[in-house]
Amino acid sequence: MTSVRIGVDGDSVLPLYRWLAEDPDVRRDTTLSLSGEQRPDEMGGALEVINVVLSNTIAFSGLVVAIAAWWGSRKGAPVVEIERDGVRVTIHDDSPETIRQVVEALSRDRS
């Protein structure tokens, strides 16, 4: 099992959560949940995060592709931040190169 956290700028966390929950490939291989976190840089501010538990490592690539597809479907899409094992990367476009870089960066063995 692998855990991933997804943060989204602005009010876009719920639309992304719904997109991922409706994707049959993502739904098959993951468990999704929403949680609020205290922002360290803002008093009283909270950040909603999508928590993802992946049943296998192959599902991670599918998750990144689904996030990039969501990003590409939105006009003026926000930055999406994905964190795995303390490593954070952002998705700022839906290009195949960005997808490859995100998957590569977050799939490295950290042992």
pLDDT band, residue 56 (cuts 50/70/90): confident
CATH classification of 2-107, choosing from 3.40.50, 3.30.70, 1.25.40, 3.40.30?
3.30.70
Lowest mean pLDDT of 3-7, 13-17, 105-109, name the range.
105-109
List Cβ<8 Å contacts ≥24 apart for 58-64. 58/29, 59/25, 59/26, 59/29, 59/30, 60/2, 60/4, 60/84, 60/103, 60/106, 60/107, 61/103, 62/25, 62/26, 62/29, 63/4, 63/20, 63/26, 63/30, 64/91, 64/99, 64/102, 64/103, 64/106
pLDDT at residue 39 tops 80: no
Query: What's this model's pTM, rounded to 2 decimal places?
Result: 0.84
Domain ranges of the chain: 2-107
Question: Average of pLDDT values for 18-46?
Answer: 79
pLDDT at residue 46 tops 60: no
Lowest mean pLDDT of 54-58, 77-81, 95-99, name the range.
54-58
Question: Average of pLDDT values for 26-53?
Answer: 77
